[in-house]
Structure 1
Amino acid sequence: MTALQAPSKGIMTQTDNQNSAARVNRDGSAGKTEKPALWLWSQYAFDSLAWIVAVFLAVILRLELLVNQINVPGVVIFCAVAVVSQLIVGISFALYRGRYAFGSFHEARLLVIVTVIVSVILLLVSIAFISVIQIPRSVAIIAFPFACIFMASTRYLKRMYVESKAKPGDDAQRTLIYGAGFLGKSLVTRMMQDRDSPYFPVGLIDDDPAKKHLRLATVPVLGRLEDLPEIARRTRATALVIAFSDVEAAQVRRVSDLVDGLGIRVLVLPPLRDMLAGGEKGLADFRDVAVEDLIGRRPVDIRADEVAGYIAGRRVLVTGAGGSIGSELCRQIAEFRPAELIMLDRDETGLQTTQISLTGRGLLTGRDTVLADIRDADTLRDIFLDRAPEVVFHAAALKHVSLLEQYPEEAWKTNVLGTLNVLRAAEAAGVSNFVNISTDKAANPTSVLGHSKRVAEKLTAWTAGAEGRKYVSVRFGNVIGSRGSMLPLFTEQIRVGGPITVTDPEVTRFFMTIPEACQLVIQAGAIGRGGEVLILDMGEPVKILDVARRMIAMSGKDIDIVFTGLRKGEKLHEDLVGIDEDDARPLHPKISHTRVTALDPAVLNLRDWKVKGGIEVYSENVPPAEKGA
């Protein structure tokens, strides 16, 4: 179930909606603009009027309502001084230059400063010219609070008018917001100040008892999360936004369960780095809850951009560039500006798709795409010698467990010999950095796929030792959304009406996202030491049955689940680190470094490999020279 983009047409930021006179929609009208000079002069006119009223009130109060004692000409001169001083000081402090957001605390603070300075000027004038204007010196002091209040009031009334005109229309979805913190407040403000917003906030939900009677932009906190079903019925809400930047999967599941059957669309916020991304869109849109949120994969910050200097300005080759991992890897590598990115695959359609995603063109006429099979050692060697890559990412592989159980020789030809061909070609071309993409099934392997990838790890380690270069492997769990993976399969089964097939009620798997997997690959090329296997800490394993049930609930369909039993070679629970492997984390708390025993290519033997049904027969405790051909 993919995350659909919410049609949040232009939800504006508070600064956008309240900004200075140079911005649009000052009068709350839809789509109209107001000349900055006109707005500034009108605001100055209100401020001048505020001073005139404040001075007259101050004089009347000072003379204890004896209006017959007022020196009208002197008061007029005093008011004129106040008006002129307000203009000069206001312009000097940028009060009338549109520098601060209209109606903001910054503008209020500046307004007080300007008013204090004008009051001081009036006080000095009343002292110096008291015989001429006959205004008591205390008038300037008494007028100060009145002027501040009047000027602040005009701004507040203007702000209320603008906000009332900017409220979402009747067609906006009635929306609840879970979380009355900073993000919740920001969302309410944005929604209430954008008449094009597709969401109209009708209430907030927060588990903090101290916020029980809180109101944000007139929107009240209606209760706690446990009250959600009753609140949803009372407010007739059709959407709920989870206003947490890093919401836990358990919390998303709880919300999803509470609104089940209420017809409420649950939305989550994108990561903060996406919300603050620039471009024409500004803040990113909300999105529907995806299976990734329910599974609980919170991407680990592995800071690939800080260590990818070995890519910039160098020739980089990616095998399997047309696959899910390979194509995303190419897109991420391109951001680090390599001197040349060479995409190699035997799947011409996959190559074209990757090229389109990178360049917007799919002509397949440039030197960036190479059509070749890693099984062809001679062709591969010629390509490497001709293109002279300096960094290689080896993503080409066969990966379906059950299919390779039927055809183990295919796993041998591609995952074992194909990897050996790439390693030898890289060795011949003098490649300095090599990253072999492996799988968690290579840890304590029980399947043909696991054993073939285990051998590939050992061949990589052997080449690293023989050449003294930084050749490493990276071990993945299940990659969410990759071609042929569980989630797309479940999605298709739900689309056709089921049933969903699950091997065993207790089976669990580790999951990671495609971008996260590719970031690990890039970082591994920098921090991995020759011969190492790097493994990402993917948290707790996820129960496949729970994922299937969640996806069915999200679909709104009545789909059966059928248990097929574990297939040959499959484990009930996967391992990340093998029994005989270390789990050292010297450089990053979420990345394990381990080593596998190097395997000399000279001892590879298909016959023995097939006799054991794809099980590796080489003892790791016997020196390569004693293993025989």
Structure 2
Amino acid sequence: MIGWDALAWVLALGGFLMVRHEFSLSERVWITAATYVGAAVTLQVIGGFWTHLYLGRSKIGSFDEVTSLGTLVLGISLVLGATSFIAAPLFSRGIVVVMPMLALLIMAAGRWIFRATRGEDRRRNVEVPGVPALVYGAGDAGHQLAGLVDHSADPPYAIVGFIDDDPSLRFFRVRGYRVLGRGRDLLSVARRTGAEAVVLAVSQASPQLIQDVNDECTAAGLELVVVPPVREMISGRLELDKLRAFNVADLLGRRPIETDLSEIADYVAGKVVLVTGAGGSIGSELARQVRAFGPSKLVLLDRDESALHATKLSLDGNGLLDTDDTVLCDIRDREAVCAVFSRLAPEVVFHAAALKHLPMLERFPEEGWKTNVLGTRNVLECAATNGVQAFVNISTDKAADATSVLGQTKRLAERLTAWYAGQTGMRYLSVRFGNVLGSRGSVLDTFRAQIGRGGPVTVTDPEVSRFFMTIPEACELVLQAAAIGRPGDVLVLDMGEPVRIVDVARRLIEESGKDIQITYTGLRDGEKLHEVLLSAGERGQGTEHSLITQVSVPRLEPGDLLATHADLVQVEGALPMQGNVAGKGVR
């Protein structure tokens, strides 16, 4: 590159003199011109090393490198131009004005030829061509993917063309690969080009688009590969080894979750934070995320010693359980809970302990009452008595228009939290969201176990749908909600579009490669066909975060609840589904 840049100055001088003067210059001007070129080349080499241009500062031919090159040439032209005007008044002014531009043009042309030739050589020199693939999406992700394939010594895919739904890109080319059609032309283009795979390079693809493309690929026997969302990449840069097969998480969509780290840190950093249900899926992930904000102490509380041990081990690799930051305690035991609060003095509480399996609670409603209602009341009472500044009750979408024991008990927990917020004036609030994908005992566990046994996979109804979110996304938004919530709020997380359970089952069956049947068992007692995030009488209000909505629930005084406990076990311990608690209106 040094030799080419030096030659560029000579060629620029020759071209200028031939066109402008036809080489008819006096001997003195020839000497001056040669001196100018010699000085320019010298400054080019010195400046190139000083700015690291020739030491690998930027990729050859990249925008950054050409920008640095242009800056260097401009500097040389200004220095030599000023010197020439002062030292040689009769010097051709055209040389100092036009020649640097010609030199820069020649330098850039050489780099363009280098990049173009090198790229073609790499394509030709691939010993084992990759799988012929169509790329769906000619945007930024598609450009990155094409560049990676072109510059890889052993690319897994050989791009045969692009597909994009934008009609204005009909003749568009991405690094020489042409856009061959729109999404509706996917199968015909695949047959025409001999594609064996489709790479979905749309980083914010909707669940419906992903499902539609997957259905087409499955029907045609094409492999579907997806570019991961930005949150799964490093600094937003795509890597070939990050491409992966379409999985269940892709059904949820790819909304970026943005959180204000400073707001979260303000109420967590340096505080004593207690997480109930820390052995569960949500509780353990909350503990992991809270730990990153530097609390003075993170207390893990659970009644399951094995789950508590697993969480502690995942946090710091210490499984001895001999420190006071791991607490074995059942939230049903009020005295034990209050003793923990009195001894450890937590300032922030995340209450994730609960019984959550809907069919079991329909069979044993009294157990749901003891844990989800009385247990929550115990934690709230001990928190208020011991001066807890912030209390976050983890709720569920089943609390909206509750038809099940689970929903009604969690609804009561929300109302109790609101009452304690009113009594203390502290930030006591609830956060409501839907099913968490991959949590312990979730539908994924059930389906995978059924697939492992050879089937069938049981789904209640072909149209049943649920809101889903991944565990990290849910916990991240819980932390953000707690930062912006006000006392007594119920904050509802935007769960995106609901997903049909049968689509999740089909995706898992496809991943297994097995021939598994799906059978429909019918909705169970208390179960809805479609969940909602807000009750019919609730009116959501926006918050400063686009994915969090605020609603209000009527407060429920603990005394009113306890006074009617005897009425809740009238029929074989069943929690009444349609009645109310002492006229207070459970629903």
TM tier relative to shorter chain: 0.7 to 0.9
- In 2, the alpha carbon distance for the partners of 1:170 and 1:161 equals 20
- In 1, the alpha carbon distance for the partners of 2:518 and 2:544 equals 43
How many residue pairs end up in the alignment? Answer: 576
Counterpart residue number, 2:461: 504
- In 1, the alpha carbon distance for the partners of 2:296 and 2:493 equals 29
Contact kept, 8 Å, 1:299 with 1:516, in 2: the verdict is: no
Counterpart residue number, 1:375: 332
Contact kept, 8 Å, 2:414 with 2:553, in 1: the verdict is: no
Counterpart residue number, 2:107: 151
Greater Cα shift, 244-253 or 577-586: 577-586
- In 2, the alpha carbon distance for the partners of 1:63 and 1:222 equals 51
Indicate how the Cα distance of structure 1 residues 352 and 236 shifts in structure 2: closer, same or farther if over 3 A, else same.
farther
- In 1, the alpha carbon distance for the partners of 2:86 and 2:497 equals 78
Does residue 314 (structure 1) correspond to residue 271 (structure 2)? The answer is yes
Counterpart residue number, 1:558: 515
Does residue 212 (structure 1) correspond to residue 139 (structure 2)? The answer is no
- 1:466 deviates by 3.3
Does residue 531 (structure 1) correspond to residue 488 (structure 2)? The answer is yes
Contact kept, 8 Å, 1:207 with 1:225, in 2: the verdict is: yes
- 1:263 deviates by 4.1
Counterpart residue number, 1:258: 216
Query: What percent of counterpart residues are identical?
Result: 46
Counterpart residue number, 1:348: 305
One-letter code aligned to 2:266: G
Contact kept, 8 Å, 2:47 with 2:72, in 1: the verdict is: no
Does residue 86 (structure 1) correspond to residue 41 (structure 2)? The answer is yes
- 1:327 deviates by 0.8
- In 1, the alpha carbon distance for the partners of 2:94 and 2:474 equals 73
Contact kept, 8 Å, 1:299 with 1:512, in 2: the verdict is: no
Greater Cα shift, 592-601 or 379-388: 592-601
Contact kept, 8 Å, 2:377 with 2:413, in 1: the verdict is: yes
Indicate how the Cα distance of structure 1 residues 514 and 79 shifts in structure 2: closer, same or farther if over 3 A, else same.
same
- In 2, the alpha carbon distance for the partners of 1:450 and 1:435 equals 18
One-letter code aligned to 2:132: R
- In 1, the alpha carbon distance for the partners of 2:72 and 2:257 equals 50
- In 1, the alpha carbon distance for the partners of 2:82 and 2:538 equals 83
- In 2, the alpha carbon distance for the partners of 1:370 and 1:414 equals 17
- 1:51 deviates by 3.2
Counterpart residue number, 2:437: 480
Superposition map of 1:130-529 within 5 A:
147-164=103-120, 166-167=122-123, 170=128, 172-277=130-235, 285-296=242-253, 298=255, 301=258, 303=260, 306-529=263-486
- 1:564 deviates by 1.0
Indicate how the Cα distance of structure 1 residues 333 and 169 shifts in structure 2: closer, same or farther if over 3 A, else same.
farther
Contact kept, 8 Å, 1:304 with 1:522, in 2: the verdict is: no
Contact kept, 8 Å, 1:126 with 1:136, in 2: the verdict is: no
One-letter code aligned to 1:84: A
SS in 2 for 1:342: strand
Greater Cα shift, 385-394 or 157-166: 157-166
Query: 1:398-439 CA deviation, whole Å, 9 max, x = no partner?
Result: 111111222222222222222222223223322121112122
SS in 2 for 1:598: coil
Query: 1:262-313 CA deviation, whole Å, 9 max, x = no partner?
Result: 443323333334435399x989923332223224474654646534521111
One-letter code aligned to 1:226: R
Contact kept, 8 Å, 2:6 with 2:44, in 1: the verdict is: no
Does residue 609 (structure 1) correspond to residue 565 (structure 2)? The answer is no
One-letter code aligned to 2:285: E
Indicate how the Cα distance of structure 1 residues 615 and 104 shifts in structure 2: closer, same or farther if over 3 A, else same.
same
- In 2, the alpha carbon distance for the partners of 1:141 and 1:459 equals 79
- 1:598 deviates by 0.9
Does residue 44 (structure 1) correspond to residue 5 (structure 2)? The answer is no
Contact kept, 8 Å, 2:420 with 2:428, in 1: the verdict is: yes
Query: 1:3-29 CA deviation, whole Å, 9 max, x = no partner?
Result: xxxxxxxxxxxxxxxxxxxxxxxxxxx
- In 2, the alpha carbon distance for the partners of 1:468 and 1:205 equals 57
- 1:390 deviates by 0.8
Q: TM-score, normalised by structure 2?
A: 0.86
Query: 1:172-212 CA deviation, whole Å, 9 max, x = no partner?
Result: 44332211123322221233123254344332111223322
- 1:326 deviates by 0.5
- In 2, the alpha carbon distance for the partners of 1:122 and 1:102 equals 28
Structure 2 unmatched runs, 5+:
none
- In 1, the alpha carbon distance for the partners of 2:56 and 2:98 equals 29
Structure 1 unmatched runs, 5+:
1-42
Greater Cα shift, 193-202 or 559-568: 193-202
One-letter code aligned to 1:180: A
Indicate how the Cα distance of structure 1 residues 561 and 297 shifts in structure 2: closer, same or farther if over 3 A, else same.
farther
- 1:96 deviates by 4.2
Indicate how the Cα distance of structure 1 residues 567 and 110 shifts in structure 2: closer, same or farther if over 3 A, else same.
closer
- In 1, the alpha carbon distance for the partners of 2:153 and 2:40 equals 38
One-letter code aligned to 1:435: V
Indicate how the Cα distance of structure 1 residues 402 and 140 shifts in structure 2: closer, same or farther if over 3 A, else same.
closer
Contact kept, 8 Å, 2:43 with 2:76, in 1: the verdict is: no
One-letter code aligned to 1:614: L
Contact kept, 8 Å, 1:443 with 1:578, in 2: the verdict is: yes
Superposition map of 1:5-154 within 5 A:
43-56=1-14, 78-79=33-34, 81-89=36-44, 91-92=46-47, 94=51, 95-96=53-54, 98-109=56-67, 111=69, 121=80, 147-154=103-110
- 1:560 deviates by 1.6
Indicate how the Cα distance of structure 1 residues 142 and 437 shifts in structure 2: closer, same or farther if over 3 A, else same.
closer
Greater Cα shift, 483-492 or 247-256: 483-492
- In 2, the alpha carbon distance for the partners of 1:80 and 1:433 equals 76
- In 2, the alpha carbon distance for the partners of 1:297 and 1:106 equals 31
Contact kept, 8 Å, 2:229 with 2:254, in 1: the verdict is: no
Contact kept, 8 Å, 1:318 with 1:392, in 2: the verdict is: yes
- In 2, the alpha carbon distance for the partners of 1:230 and 1:269 equals 22
SS in 2 for 1:475: strand
- In 2, the alpha carbon distance for the partners of 1:278 and 1:369 equals 37
SS in 1 for 2:134: strand
Contact kept, 8 Å, 2:251 with 2:499, in 1: the verdict is: no
Does residue 572 (structure 1) correspond to residue 529 (structure 2)? The answer is yes
Greater Cα shift, 137-146 or 559-568: 137-146
Contact kept, 8 Å, 1:202 with 1:235, in 2: the verdict is: yes
SS in 2 for 1:615: coil
Query: 1:37-86 CA deviation, whole Å, 9 max, x = no partner?
Result: xxxxxx22222233334445555666758xxx898998587445413322
- 1:392 deviates by 0.9
Query: 1:483-517 CA deviation, whole Å, 9 max, x = no partner?
Result: 11223322332333321111123323222222232
Indicate how the Cα distance of structure 1 residues 145 and 431 shifts in structure 2: closer, same or farther if over 3 A, else same.
closer
Indicate how the Cα distance of structure 1 residues 243 and 322 shifts in structure 2: closer, same or farther if over 3 A, else same.
same
Indicate how the Cα distance of structure 1 residues 62 and 227 shifts in structure 2: closer, same or farther if over 3 A, else same.
same
SS in 1 for 2:402: coil
SS in 1 for 2:160: strand
CA root-mean-square deviation: 3.6
Contact kept, 8 Å, 1:609 with 1:616, in 2: the verdict is: no
Indicate how the Cα distance of structure 1 residues 433 and 575 shifts in structure 2: closer, same or farther if over 3 A, else same.
same
Indicate how the Cα distance of structure 1 residues 537 and 430 shifts in structure 2: closer, same or farther if over 3 A, else same.
same
- In 2, the alpha carbon distance for the partners of 1:117 and 1:599 equals 77
- 1:100 deviates by 4.3
